[in-house]
Amino acid sequence: MYILKVSRAEAEKLWLQLGDIPIDADECITEEFVGFQPGTPRKDIWHWFEDTFDLSVAEDLMCLGQGLPYDPFEDKDLIKNIGTALSRLARKDDDEFDREPDIIEDDAVWYLRFGDLTEGSEDTVCVDFRIMDSVHWDGTGDPEYSDEPRGFNVGWDACLIGGATLAGCVPYNYTKDVWTRDKTELWDRMEGTLSYLKAWVAEKGWED
């Protein structure tokens, strides 16, 4: 039992260190980490944690199964990963982009611009990527008075500055599964929506 406790403490220490290792748009580390070379998929390292320390990344390292509700707005790794991925996608001349999100009506929102960035142009494409809170979206604005269990989702939409919607992605939109409090599920949704956004930008020829 003593060895198990030492191993778990070491796992937690390494997990925090992994959070400081940057990743690329393909979710691979860009710096060496305990023998894993740059280019290693992050999920391969997650599996290593589970095999080496005999634990569950989701339940033991992502604070699931401990009776604590998951709040993505307090998840610094999630915020950092989204900001980093979007910074690689943002145009270099988009001086309005910020890795840190704005908090708008209880959502965390990142803004990107593509197309014609000339001031006043109606051909500017505005993309907002957001972490969404069900309390805001069901119109109550307060968890205490919400009719549904509180949950979260991630997604993005793109529109011309004039208002015409071009594209968007919100996992499980208009279904009973649109909101989740499962950290692993939300991270999977984040990775999927970022991948779709990257592919859409590439399809439009807007990659720098």
Among 113, 181, 123, CA closest to 152: 181
In a domain, 156, yes or no: yes
**What value does the CA radius of gyration of the chain take, rounded to a whole number of Å?**
19
Q: Is 205 exposed, middle or buried (0-12, 13-18, 19+ CB in 10 A)?
A: exposed
Same domain, 76 and 47: no
Are 89 and 112 spatial neighbours (Cβ–Cβ below 8 Å)?
yes
In a domain, 196, yes or no: yes
* Separation CA 110–CA 75 (nearest Å): 16
pTM exceeding 0.85: no
Same domain, 47 and 80: no
Domain C-terminal end among 13, 34, 61: 61
Among 172, 188, 193, CA closest to 86: 193
| Domain housing 143 | 72-203
Same domain, 94 and 49: no
Dihedral (C-alpha) 127, 155, 67, 148: value to the nearest 10 degrees? 110
Same domain, 23 and 95: no
Same domain, 152 and 87: yes
Q: pLDDT (tens digit, 9 = 90+) per residue, 7-35?
A: 666 777 788 788 778 888 788 899 999 89
Same domain, 50 and 79: no
Same domain, 85 and 140: yes
Q: pLDDT (tens digit, 9 = 90+) per residue, 98-140?
A: 999 998 877 899 999 998 888 878 889 999 999 998 866 555 4
Q: pLDDT (tens digit, 9 = 90+) per residue, 37-79?
A: 999 998 899 888 888 888 777 666 765 334 446 789 888 899 9
Same domain, 146 and 107: yes
If pLDDT is split at 50, 70 and 90, which confidence band does 2 have?
A: very low
For residues 7-31, one letter each, b for 16 or more C-beta atoms within 10 angstroms of the residue's C-beta and e for the rest, the string is eeeebeebbeebeebebeeeebbee
Same domain, 83 and 177: yes
User: Domain total for the chain?
Assistant: 2
Same domain, 51 and 101: no
Same domain, 13 and 105: no
